[in-house]
DNA sequence: ACAGAATTAGGACAATCGTCCTAATTCTCA
DNA sequence: TGAGAATTAGGACGATTGTCCTAATTCTGT
């Protein structure tokens, strides 16, 4: 297999550090130490810190797309696919309690920094919104699809924020159960084959 | 009326800056410029930046307590009091779309910084949780009070995060309408006088 | 009015920030 | 194998960071 390029290593480590420490609090020196290269070497791969941020956001976009495509290809129905989305809260509960949601916390930080990449970060949310809306549309709720998708997204974000604040795993499980009941209560209006 | 002390001015401006730019991204110089004093003068009032953060959190605790007490004293029922809480999302929608929720974003940032004040910041959420639980208990839902309070808190946090990301006022109004329907659906099991 | 306390301004301090340059090394491929 | 490109390490750069000191000023109470 081909070895990971230095550039990919930088983006990978920066991604993790931006998530765990925040964009502003992560320095070039931190990333260099994580990758194991010298600080000066950075400039050859990325001109500015904002360039790294752009690459990190692009990476997250790609990986999010791949994840959503994966769920799409598993062959089950829209209800099961939405379940995959909800289950992220359980699967990633430990890191969520430590660092929150990677997307939500990045968007919030960039908003405060009034950063130019804010819109690009929000596009990751856009991927989830559109994918969820597609699943809900497949359930037959065509006109409400986007509204319900945003609602589900907001709910999961709220769970992430509160889980980070209170470090309460039982709360996460409680809310996930609530989301699942909500999902089950959505009527399937789609035409049977 | 007594003039505001320099110390109070510092805390007030730091509070606003921490909200609008984040704790990490706000420097002593920023606060000094906002207050209109010299940088060196800071040391007389606060030894470290963390001391300012502590004072800001204490200020937010006080003001939150005062706000909740105010709602409590307005003499209406628990349902109307919870309405006051929900209405914050509408009243502060402009600043929420710009900077998110002051409590949620601070807790998330401090979690990433692994900051010692994290627990103190979470206590502000605790004030809301306990107050909301008290209102829900007054509706007669005694055993579910804390769970429902956390759910409502999480819901509002989710709305704040998504509103900041998408800058969508219609979304806020939609979700607030949803929260109000949810509130209306809570049965009043309390004993009539 | 005056001594002592409180408050202030200005700047020094080492450390770190993001950025950028240069020279050495490694890689690529004709 | 050897020329040219790609990549690297190391450090310089000015600006800014949080922290801290000192000397001047303002305030306070008698």
| pLDDT for res B7 | 94
Which of B21, B105, B178 is opposite residue A108, by nearest beta carbon?
B105
Which residue, among A20, A49, A54, has the nearest Cα to A32 in the 3D structure? A49
Alpha-carbon distance B111 to A12, whole Å? Answer: 21
- Counting every residue, how long is chain B? 193
Which long-range contacts link B71-76 to residues 24+ away (Cβ below 8 Å)? B72/B131
Q: How confident is the model at residue B2 (pLDDT cuts 50, 70, 90)?
A: very low
Nucleotide nearest to B52 (CA to C1'): D18
**Does residue B137 sit in helix, strand or coil?**
helix
Which residue, among A109, A117, A143, A147, has the nearest Cα to A53 in the 3D structure? A117
| pLDDT for res A190 | 77
* Span B21-48, pLDDT tens digits: 999 999 999 999 999 999 888 899 999 9
Report the phi/psi class of residue A140: left, alpha or beta, with left for phi > 0 and alpha for psi in -120 to 50. left
Alpha-carbon distance B116 to B28, whole Å? Answer: 19
Average pLDDT, chain B: 95
> With an 8 Å Cβ cutoff, are A108 and B175 in contact?
no
A 53-112 → B contacts, CB under 8 A: 98-100, 104-105, 107-109, 111-112
CA-based R_g, chain B, Å? 19
* Span B108-138, pLDDT tens digits: 999 999 999 999 999 999 999 999 999 999 9
Task: Kindly list the distances between the CA atom of residue A73 and the CA atoms of A76, A92, A184, in Å, as whole numbers in the listed order.
Answer: 8, 22, 22
> With an 8 Å Cβ cutoff, are A99 and B113 in contact?
no
Enumerate the nucleotides of strand C whose atoms come under 7 Å of any protein CB.
7-12, 16-22
Q: What is the dihedral of CA A74, A80, A82, A84, to 10 degrees?
A: -60
Q: Which residues of B touch A153 (CB under 8 A)?
A: 158, 162
**Would you tell me the crossing angle of helices B145-166 and A102-113 to the nearest 10 degrees?**
50
Alpha-carbon distance B75 to A8, whole Å? Answer: 61
**Does residue B140 sit in helix, strand or coil?**
coil
pLDDT at B1 over 60: no
> With an 8 Å Cβ cutoff, are B25 and A113 in contact?
yes
Q: Which residue has the higher pLDDT, A192 or B171?
A: B171
Q: Split chain A (193 residues) into runs of 10 and give each run's mean pLDDT.
A: 78 98 97 93 93 98 98 92 98 98 98 98 98 96 95 98 98 98 89 59
| pLDDT for res A4 | 80
Which of A99, A150, A158 is opposite residue B112, by nearest beta carbon?
A99
* Span B92-109, pLDDT tens digits: 999 999 999 999 999 999
B28 touches chain A (CB under 8 A): no
Residues sharing a CB contact under 8 Å with residue B95, sequence separation 6 or more, in sequence order: none
Nucleotide nearest to A9 (CA to C1'): D7
Q: What percent of chain B has pLDDT over 70?
A: 97
Task: Kindly list the distances between the CA atom of residue B52 and the CA atoms of A165, B22, B78, B105, B126, in Å, as whole numbers in the listed order.
Answer: 21, 13, 36, 17, 21
B156 touches chain A (CB under 8 A): yes
Structure tokens at B150: 């956390």
Which of B122, B159, B164 is opposite residue A108, by nearest beta carbon?
B164
Residues sharing a CB contact under 8 Å with residue B30, sequence separation 6 or more, in sequence order: B17, B21
Number of H helices, E strands in chain B: 10, 0
């Amino acid at each position: 297999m081909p070895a990971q390029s230095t550039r990919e290593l930088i983006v990978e480590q920066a991604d993790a550090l931006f998530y765990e420490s925040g964009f502003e609090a992560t320095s070039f020196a931190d990333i260099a130490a994580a990758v194991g290269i010298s600080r000066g070497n950075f400039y050859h791969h990325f001109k500015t810190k904002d360039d790294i941020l752009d690459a990190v956001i692009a990476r997250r976009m790609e990986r999010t797309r791949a994840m959503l495509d994966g769920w799409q290809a598993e062959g089950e129905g829209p209800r099961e696919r939405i379940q995959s989305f909800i289950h992220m809260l359980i699967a990633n509960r430990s890191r969520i309690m430590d660092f929150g949601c990677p997307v939500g916390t990045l968007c919030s930080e960039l908003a405060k920094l009034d950063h130019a990449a804010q819109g690009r970060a929000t596009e990751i949310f856009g991927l989830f919104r559109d994918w969820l809306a597609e699943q809900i549309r497949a359930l037959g709720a065509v006109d409400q699809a986007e509204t319900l998708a945003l609602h589900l997204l907001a709910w999961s974000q709220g769970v992430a924020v509160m889980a980070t604040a209170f470090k309460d795993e039982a709360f996460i499980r409680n809310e996930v159960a609530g989301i699942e009941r909500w999902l089950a209560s959505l009527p399937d209006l789609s035409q049977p084959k």
